[in-house]
Amino acid sequence: MATQEILVLTYMKDGSLEPSGLELLNPATELSNQNGMQIGIAILGSEDESIAEECISKGADKVYLVSNDILKTYNSDAYVHVMTQVAAKIDPSIILISRNIEGRELAARVAFRLGTGLAQDCLEVSIDKETNRMLANRPVYGGSAIAIVDCQSDPQVAAIRPKAYEALEADTARTGEIELFEADIPENVIKVHTIETVAEEAEGIQLEDARIVVAGGRGLGGPEPFEQLGELAGLLDGAVGASRAAVDSGWIPHSQQVGLTGKTITPDVYITVAISGASQHMAGCTGSKVIVAINKDPEANIFKDAKYGIVGDWENILPALTETVRELTQS
């Protein structure tokens, strides 16, 4: 029988706790407030009790530090094996995993090995008052609608979109347990080995981490206007994104693509310039808190999802907007 515990599965990345791990303690806390379950978090690749203390201060009741030298470097086979191992031992009622780049694969494989279902790409989770089971809100039909998924199998697993929740403020008065967990990883578990890792050269804030994103589409007409988008993004401490059409045209790297075949982002503000708003693109940004659209076509699909819309030529609007932001930020 499953324990009355909500388990967050996360890991170390580049020597630090993967940022979305702390974010997941927020929805875990909301679920706990509704069903009374305790919150556990398993951190792969760490024996650092200071990290465990931070997790406790931000909502965890129990921290499992999962160690093995193999876990110091990301390997999907090893991570899936260990996450399944930890989940099987703890036997929680609910499991939360980040739907970041790694989590898209990890969540599905872990759920399969546990013989349960998966609520993928969730924006929000809650508890059904009648059944006391988890409900998950997730975008469907390319982001044009939100479905409420009823998790009927155990454990109940949800992969939550990064930035859908903010990490809670630290409460240093909180106390909790810390348990060391030594993972067993047989040699035959790892089928894929990393030969070489090439770091992607990137300047400024990463697209998926940005609170403000300024994105451009095919309507910009070429690569040069992205410099103007970069100027506005820089003033807002944001990042530059793009539609698939702009990426396919070679105007901007694929790492900046937002959409179904690009990155899924959840910024506070998403400013689109000359993007029509095709469903494939909207699938990657429906979690944005506010969408601001600039497009010369008043019938553009993007306006259906935008909170603020400006109809007009971007060549006139963007410079004026940038100058106004410059005055406000420098005053």
Q: What is the pLDDT of residues 231-282, one digit of tens each?
A: 999 999 999 999 999 999 999 999 999 998 899 898 999 999 999 999 889 9
Answer yes or no: are the C-beta atoms of 217 and 241 closer than 8 Å: no
pLDDT band with cut points at 50, 70 and 90 for residue 287: confident
Average confidence (pLDDT) over 208-215: 93
- Is pLDDT above 60 for 1? no
Pairing of β 156-160 and β 92-98: parallel
Measured between alpha carbons, how far is 327 from 98 in angstroms, rounded to an integer?
A: 38
Alpha carbon 191 to its chain centroid, in Å, reads 27
Measured between alpha carbons, how far is 11 from 168 in angstroms, rounded to an integer?
A: 18
- Mark 225-244 as b/e (b = at least 16 C-beta within 10 Å): bbebbbbbbbbbebbbbbbb
- Mark 270-309 as b/e (b = at least 16 C-beta within 10 Å): bbbbbbbbbebbbbbbbbbeebbbbbeeeebbbbebbeeb
Average confidence (pLDDT) over 47-69: 96
Beta bridge partners of 38: 5
pLDDT for residue 119:
96
Measured between alpha carbons, how far is 20 from 134 in angstroms, rounded to an integer?
A: 20
- Is pLDDT above 90 for 101? no
Percentage of the chain lying above the pLDDT 90 cut: 82
pLDDT for residue 12:
95
Average confidence (pLDDT) over 321-328: 94
pTM: 0.83
DSSP code per residue over 150-174: E--SSSEEEEEPTTSSPPPPP-TT-
Tokens of 57: 């201060």
- Is pLDDT above 90 for 90? yes
Name the residue type at position 246: A
pLDDT for residue 195:
86
Average confidence (pLDDT) over 270-295: 93
Task: Give pLDDT tens digits for 144-199.
Answer: 788 999 988 999 999 999 888 999 999 999 999 999 998 999 989 999 888 888 77
- Is pLDDT above 70 for 285? yes
**Which domains are seen in the chain, by residue range?**
3-189 (3.40.50.620), 207-330 (3.40.50.1220)
pLDDT for residue 209:
85
Answer yes or no: are the C-beta atoms of 292 and 316 closer than 8 Å: no
Measured between alpha carbons, how far is 189 from 269 in angstroms, rounded to an integer?
A: 42
pLDDT for residue 313:
96
Answer yes or no: are the C-beta atoms of 162 and 20 closer than 8 Å: yes
pLDDT band with cut points at 50, 70 and 90 for residue 331: confident
Nearest Cα to 66, choosing from 88, 45, 91, 87?
A: 45
- Is pLDDT above 80 for 143? no
Contacts of 328 (CB under 8 A, 6+ apart): none
Percentage of the chain lying above the pLDDT 70 cut: 98
pLDDT for residue 2:
61
pLDDT for residue 3:
66
Mean pLDDT of the residues in the chain: 93
E strands, the chain, in order: 3-13, 16-17, 38-44, 62-67, 92-98, 119-122, 124-127, 134-140, 145-150, 156-160, 177-182, 212-216, 239-242, 269-273, 290-295, 308-311
CA Rg value for the chain: 21
Give me the half-sphere count of Cα atoms (radius 13 Å) on the Cβ side of residue 67.
9
Task: Give pLDDT tens digits for 57-67.
Answer: 999 999 999 99
pLDDT for residue 202:
64
